[in-house]
Chain A
Amino acid sequence: MKGIFSVLVENKDGVLSQISGLFARRGFNIDSLAVGETERQDISSMTIVSTGDQRTIDQIEKHLNKKLDVIKVRRLEETRSVLLEMMLIKVSYSLTNRASLIELCSVMGAQIKHVSAKNMVIEFHAAPDVISDFIELVRSFGILELQRTGTICMAKD
């Protein structure tokens, strides 16, 4: 199963390494990890997506809570949260398939941020599974480079 954790932590040095170290040490998976400041300068927010059986996901929550620099852990339900991820992807094109790539971006709501003679840099933000779908759609064009930010997440109420 998937575990999505929204974690508020002290915005101090060493906290990210404490959290990532915890996952490494206890053999928990990190599917994605996104970190940034919140509206308060002294608090950072981490969104951690992990997979494992029920007991592992429960243990992750408990061990996160045990860290003194962790202020709050929330476990988010995928269906009752807004999930968002951003991606930059560099895709190659030729004169024959250029129009269809532009059309695909337009249909999916992706923005073309830069065009050169042989490739385009496309920005796309969407739910993580839609991002994965988009990657599959452009794969046949030729992916030259790809960067995903990791999921950020917020409960709907």
Chain B
Amino acid sequence: MNGAEAMVKCLEAEGITRIFGYPGVAIAPFYEAVYHSDSIEHILVRQEQAAGHAANGYARVSRKPAVCVTSSGPGATNLITALATAYADSIPLVAITGQVDSSLLGRDVFQEADMRGSTESFVKYSYLIKNADELPQIMKEAFYIASTGRKGPVLIDIPCDVQMANLKKPFSYPEEVNIRGYKPNTKGNNQQMNKVIAAIRKAKKPLLCVGGGVILGNSEDCVRSFCEKNQVPLVSTMMGIGVLPKAHPLYFGMLGNNGKPYANRAVAASDLLIIVGARIADRAVPKPESLERQVNIIHIDIDTAEIGKNLGPTIPLVGDVKDIFERLLAEDFDLDTSGWIAALEEIKRNTVDHRVFSDRLVNPMLLVQRLSEKMDDNAIYVADVGQNQLWSADNYVMKNGRFLTTGGMGTMGYSIPAAIGAKICMPNLQTVAVCGDGAFQMSMYELGTIAVNRLPVKILIVKNEFLGLVREHQEKVYDSHYSGVRLYDYPRYDKIADAYDMDYFTCNTNEALEETLDRFLACKGACLMVCEVDSANNTK
């Protein structure tokens, strides 16, 4: 058995059935081994970055690590943005990159790129394999590292000759992993736990703030039960959208400078803020210092380094969110929050949203609301980056589906490949990618992947002929000096849809919206809908 065959064996042992990738000579032995595998299907993307985003969408929906594969040099460097995206959102990936022969490493030969060095700050861990016999151990470790503790991408860079070298020992996939420098802490410290319990007991106006960590920790159910049992209201970050449905009486919206003003007022009015699985990044909490002074803060996170990074919490608690909330659920807090919830409802009623959206063409707020209301109860909505992302996050009517977006890195072009990954993972779930005309053009090559694999992915383009979020910034900060942001009326989307055999829909009035969305959502195959919005619309 050679190294490449051993890798495929390892993937099979991990239960991997689909991998996303783009071959090249330096990874050809691996592709030869995949050719002979009965259980692994390879999905060819049209550019390597899309392999990473597709694996990202697949991992988020399957809640397990997903695999992407590229060749060496430019193939591998094309993947870096996708790795950075997965790292920022803590998405578990195992990325396999081919490398030049080990004897040629460091000589700047054709298509050599130092992948370990160049991805150092974008991966949780990386390997450069020099001996085929190390492969089973390293593959086992890679999956373990990607999927435990704070999840994230792991890179395996493997020279071509190592893929071809025969294993000297008989193949065996290790049962266990023992990395002496990596013992992820999953159980919350008892003493800290008691402090958390005591603080919640004392709280008059507790508020939960949930981030993507709650979803990554598969703990939506127990967090929801905790809220309901103790009547604790909840706000979320952009990555935490989906922990509670929008219509839930305890949900008070997304916080942050792109969120609901009443969610921010709720945070300021609380006497105990319980932050769970969130980084407290600048878009969610622009002034953490002033928040520290105002309210008591419990910060729960699996990653010790998140504690105190952006916010000095009153009570830190490091551990697995599911374990912690299962223990909190067992406690009886006897909280009476009815007055506090009534006060929050009052805040929600009285907070005037000053934003006005143009009804010339289609109103973007109405678009996202009606689209998400009409979508299946368990549908997957993938929002891209730009104004469309902020309109989506702000107006999305969450039911029991998934809202996927890249909140950390904000990578344009994410939605289409991520929707491909999600759809391949869950073919029965309605999947809609929503992007601007800018982001669409960054990934429109992936329509090829959609067409060839006959994936019924729905793509909705919010078209305003601008890079809208930058245009908005230039309007406000640079006296409307629009520099480098006009896309004009290209491409001809009907022709693009036609080229890939997609059904095509277009809408440019509020009146036609309902009917067009119905036809778009009822369409059986892959389809493209262009919704024109007034370029004068801002996000706030």
Please tell me the number of chain B residues within 8 Å of chain A, measured between CB atoms: 19
B490 proximal to A (CB < 8 A): no
Interface of chain B residues 306 through 331 with chain A (CB within 8 A): 307-309, 312
Distance, CA A66 to CA B181, complexed state (A): 8
Q: Could you tell me if A59 and B309 are in contact, using CB atoms closer than 8 angstroms?
A: yes
Minimum distance in angstroms from A150 CB to a CB of chain B: 23
Cβ contacts A27-71/B at 8 Å (1 or 0 each) = 000000000000000000000000000010011001101111111
Distance, CA A119 to CA B319, complexed state (A): 60
Q: Could you tell me if A68 and B308 are in contact, using CB atoms closer than 8 angstroms?
A: no
Q: Chain A contacts of B182 at CB under 8 A? A: 68
Minimum distance in angstroms from A18 CB to a CB of chain B: 6
Q: Could you tell me if A62 and B307 are in contact, using CB atoms closer than 8 angstroms?
A: yes
Minimum distance in angstroms from B99 CB to a CB of chain A: 14
Minimum distance in angstroms from A113 CB to a CB of chain B: 36
> Per DSSP, are chain A's interface residues mostly helix, strand or loop, or mixed?
helix
Q: A59-B309, A62-B304 are in contact. Are A68 and B116 (CB under 8 A)?
A: no
Q: A55-B312, A62-B307 are in contact. Are A67 and B120 (CB under 8 A)?
A: no
A17 proximal to B (CB < 8 A): yes
Cβ contacts A2-44/B at 8 Å (1 or 0 each) = 0000000110001001100100010000000000000000000
Q: A17-B117, A21-B121, A71-B181 are in contact. Are A66 and B312 (CB under 8 A)?
A: no
| Residue in contact with A58 in the complex, picked from B124, B145, B308, CB distance below 8 Å | B308
> Which residue of the partner chain B has the closest CB to A15?
B181
Cβ contacts B263-304/A at 8 Å (1 or 0 each) = 000000000000000000000000000000000000000011
Q: Chain A contacts of B312 at CB under 8 A? A: 55
Q: A10-B181, A67-B181, A71-B180 are in contact. Are A59 and B305 (CB under 8 A)?
A: yes
Q: A67-B181, A68-B179 are in contact. Are A59 and B308 (CB under 8 A)?
A: yes
Further 12 A-B residue pairs, CB within 8 A, beyond A18-B120, A25-B121:
A14-B128, A55-B312, A59-B305, A59-B308, A62-B304, A62-B305, A62-B307, A62-B308, A66-B305, A67-B181, A68-B145, A71-B181
Please tell me the number of chain A residues within 8 Å of chain B, measured between CB atoms: 19
Q: Chain B contacts of A9 at CB under 8 A? A: 181
Minimum distance in angstroms from B379 CB to a CB of chain A: 36
| Residue in contact with B304 in the complex, picked from A66, A68, A71, CB distance below 8 Å | A66
Distance, CA A10 to CA B116, complexed state (A): 16
Q: Chain A contacts of B309 at CB under 8 A? A: 59
Q: Chain A contacts of B304 at CB under 8 A? A: 62, 65-66
> Which residue of the partner chain B has the closest CB to A24?
B121
Distance, CA A9 to CA B182, complexed state (A): 12
List 14 A–B pairs whose Cβ atoms lie within 8 Å, in order of A's numbering.
Answer: A10-B181, A14-B117, A17-B117, A17-B120, A59-B305, A59-B309, A62-B305, A62-B307, A63-B305, A66-B303, A66-B305, A68-B182, A71-B180, A71-B181
Which A residues lie at the B interface, using CB under 8 A? Answer: 9-10, 14, 17-18, 21, 25, 55, 58-59, 62-63, 65-71
Distance, CA A67 to CA B180, complexed state (A): 11
Q: Could you tell me if A21 and B125 are in contact, using CB atoms closer than 8 angstroms?
A: no
Q: Could you tell me if A68 and B181 are in contact, using CB atoms closer than 8 angstroms?
A: yes
Q: Chain B contacts of A69 at CB under 8 A? A: 181
Distance, CA A59 to CA B181, complexed state (A): 18
Distance, CA A3 to CA B312, complexed state (A): 19
Q: Chain A contacts of B307 at CB under 8 A? A: 62
Distance, CA A14 to CA B120, complexed state (A): 10
Minimum distance in angstroms from A118 CB to a CB of chain B: 42
Q: Chain B contacts of A71 at CB under 8 A? A: 180-181
Distance, CA A76 to CA B120, complexed state (A): 28
Q: Could you tell me if A21 and B308 are in contact, using CB atoms closer than 8 angstroms?
A: no
Minimum distance in angstroms from A43 CB to a CB of chain B: 9
> Which residue of the partner chain B has the closest CB to A13?
B128
Distance, CA A45 to CA B116, complexed state (A): 22
Distance, CA A23 to CA B182, complexed state (A): 20
Q: Chain A contacts of B120 at CB under 8 A? A: 17-18, 21
Most chain B beta-carbon contacts within 10 A, residue among A17, A18, A25, A66: A66
Distance, CA A66 to CA B184, complexed state (A): 9
Cβ contacts B376-400/A at 8 Å (1 or 0 each) = 0000000000000000000000000
> Which residue of the partner chain B has the closest CB to A42?
B180
Minimum distance in angstroms from B139 CB to a CB of chain A: 16
Q: Chain A contacts of B305 at CB under 8 A? A: 59, 62-63, 65-66
Q: Chain B contacts of A25 at CB under 8 A? A: 121
Distance, CA A55 to CA B316, complexed state (A): 14
Most chain B beta-carbon contacts within 10 A, residue among A62, A65, A68: A68
Q: Chain A contacts of B121 at CB under 8 A? A: 21, 25
Distance, CA A81 to CA B90, complexed state (A): 38
Most chain A beta-carbon contacts within 10 A, residue among B121, B181, B307, B309: B181
Question: Top 10 closest A-B pairs, CB basis?
Answer: A62-B305, A68-B182, A71-B181, A62-B304, A68-B125, A66-B305, A68-B181, A70-B181, A63-B305, A71-B180
Cβ contacts B170-200/A at 8 Å (1 or 0 each) = 0000000001111000000000000000000
Q: Chain A contacts of B128 at CB under 8 A? A: 14
> Which residue of the partner chain B has the closest CB to A69?
B181
Distance, CA A18 to CA B125, complexed state (A): 10
Minimum distance in angstroms from A69 CB to a CB of chain B: 6
Distance, CA A18 to CA B180, complexed state (A): 17
> Which residue of the partner chain A has the closest CB to B125?
A68
Q: A25-B121, A55-B312, A71-B181 are in contact. Are A14 and B116 (CB under 8 A)?
A: yes
Distance, CA A67 to CA B120, complexed state (A): 11
Q: Chain B contacts of A21 at CB under 8 A? A: 120-121
Interface of chain B residues 136 through 189 with chain A (CB within 8 A): 145, 179-182
Q: Chain A contacts of B116 at CB under 8 A? A: 14
Distance, CA A25 to CA B121, complexed state (A): 8
Distance, CA A55 to CA B305, complexed state (A): 11
Minimum distance in angstroms from B292 CB to a CB of chain A: 11
Distance, CA A128 to CA B308, complexed state (A): 31
